Amino acid sequence: MYLEPIQYVLGAFSGSLVGFTLGLFGGGGSILAVPLMVYLVGVPNPHLAIGTSALAVAANAFTSLIGHARFGNVKWRCASIYSFAGIGGAFVGSTIGKMVDGQKLLVLFALLMFVIGILMFKERRTVGDDKAQCSRTNAPKVLTYGGLTGVFSGFFGIGGGFLIVPGLIVSTGMPILFAVGSSLVSVTAFGLTTAMNYAISGLVDWALASVFIAGGVIGGLAGGFAARKLATRKGSLNIFFAILIFVVAGYMLYRGI
């Protein structure tokens, strides 16, 4: 697909916003990526926007993961179990998603975002247990949440971080900062699975994905720094996460209905 030069500039700018969001929240990057691809960059085909953003979000999530891992914010066993369960779900979800009208996908995506935003706001005062780990006791719960998150991630063409973060918190009891860091493993895995499925159908713009990723690297470094600062203030990270979801969901519903 041919795009104007200004669209690639807007793609790099959009990538920086997505990278910042991924570094800050461990999710929400794809919440922004798809709307930015469609409404700001001007990608005319929603499915192409979904496939391209899935690849870009996966790459940016990996960059942010490196930063969080350096500061010990990743619980690798939990992240691995969650990701393993979700990869199969992401493939199934993305296969179904390609068969659904693109505009309907955007509206359904927005409605799901409202639900998650409400849940995150309700849990804003939950501190969590720094020593929380995945064991035989909670592994079935983690696997279940991981699988369901993968299906939603693939269906909507998103990295799934805004679903993974609350999923990890509920299934393990870990604090949000650890859930943010750990979620990036799954965001990377889910995004790559979805992107490969869409790429098979020719629904990835590789040039746009490249500039999107470049902008996201810079944004991700800034977002990771901001996350460590906000995590010291009880509930702040949850509240900002919920507000972001509400704002973008509202805009998507406005444009889609």
pLDDT tens digits, 5-26? 898 899 999 999 888 877 776 6
210, 181 contact by CB (below 8 A): no
Q: What is the pLDDT of residue 158?
A: 63
CB atoms within 10 A of CB 129: 11
Q: What is the pLDDT of residue 68?
A: 83
Q: What is the pLDDT of residue 211?
A: 93
Could you tell me where the DSSP H helices lie in the chain?
5-25, 29-35, 46-70, 76-97, 102-122, 139-156, 161-172, 176-200, 206-230, 236-256
SS3 for 110?
helix
Task: Using a pLDDT cut of 70, give the percent of the chain over it.
Answer: 84
pLDDT reading at 212 higher than 90: yes
Picking from 76-85, 151-160, 169-178, which range would have the lowest pLDDT averaged per residue?
A: 151-160
Domain residues for the domain of 83 are 5-256
32: confidence class by pLDDT, cuts 50, 70, 90: confident
The total domain count for the chain is 1
Q: What is the pLDDT of residue 165?
A: 81
DSSP line for 121-151:
HHTTT----TT----TTTHHHHHHHHHHHHH
Q: What is the pLDDT of residue 204?
A: 92
SS3 for 40?
helix
pLDDT reading at 132 higher than 80: no
Q: What is the pLDDT of residue 29?
A: 66
Sequence-distant (6+) residues with CB within 8 A of 155 are: 93, 94, 96, 97, 100, 105
Sequence-distant (6+) residues with CB within 8 A of 197 are: 91, 94, 95, 98, 154
Q: What is the pLDDT of residue 213?
A: 92
pLDDT reading at 201 higher than 70: yes
Whole-number average pLDDT of the chain: 81
95: confidence class by pLDDT, cuts 50, 70, 90: confident
Q: What is the pLDDT of residue 208?
A: 93
Position with higher pLDDT, 84 vs 220: 84
Q: What is the pLDDT of residue 205?
A: 92
Q: What is the pLDDT of residue 45?
A: 87
Nearest to 113 by CA among 256, 216, 246: 246
User: What pLDDT digit, counting tens, does each position of 222-256 carry?
Assistant: 887 877 776 666 566 667 777 877 877 787 777 66
What is the mean predicted confidence (pLDDT) over 209-217? 91
Cα distance between residue 34 and residue 57, in whole Å:
10
pLDDT reading at 210 higher than 60: yes
What is the mean predicted confidence (pLDDT) over 125-153? 80
